[in-house]
A and B are shown apart, each in its own frame.
Chain A
């Protein structure tokens, strides 16, 4: 498995509180992604990064922000969590070249519950 860790793995929080999820990789891959997975919706891209300090919005970016100050870390922040953000969040990485170009490798996921 690709060296991707996510923390925390589980979190329960209350509406209105800020939450930060962390994705850490040891593969030195250029691209990193945050998805959310919800029943009946598959995976939907929240934000992605194509380098340190370079990020862009995905399909469902409202209510989320991201930061990437180092190649290995990609943070996802919910500034004020809402119940609609209860989901499983997956981080993914991909390289900019080589045999696995354009293939995304996924982390173990974070299950977030907003009460």
Chain B
């Protein structure tokens, strides 16, 4: 079955540290890839997405992600985190043009210490 793995359950960083959150998926065909963020007590918001083209995708709030097809990975990065980045981050994968089949990872909770 198709699955999405997020390697870290909880990451704790100090402000200005660099961030990389891992995401791997198991589906071998064409995929659409997403990173969502959920701030405490709020709903999910899209950070960035990859459909095709340049594998380095830039999103909102200084986040970026790189799609590496050979590694089935879509890792999220930010060079310098802020306290306001404290949130839970979800990677999600959708098979090709198929709606209704967005598979989420279990999430990574990021805590940034001021």
Contacts and interface: CB of A to CB of B under 8 A. Distances in A.
B97 interface: yes
Contact of B46 (A43, A45, A48, A103): A103
Contacts of B90: 42-43
B34 A43 contact: no
A31 B49 CA distance: 18
Interface string A81-108: 0000000001010101000001111111
A90 B51 contact: no
A105 B92 CA distance: 13
A83 to B, nearest CB: 22
Interface size class of B (residues with CB under 8 A): 20 to 34
Contacts of B107: 42
Contacts of B49: 103
A74 B84 CA distance: 33
A50 interface: yes
Contacts, number: 46
A106 B100 contact: no
B43 A31 contact: no
B104 A107 contact: no
Interface string B73-114: 000000000000000001000100101101011110000000
Contact of A90 (B32, B44, B106): B44
A40 B106 contact: yes
Given A31-B99, A102-B94, A105-B46, 6 more contacts: A42-B104, A42-B105, A43-B44, A45-B102, A103-B49, A108-B43
Given A33-B100, A41-B106, A106 B44 contact: yes
A50 B106 contact: no
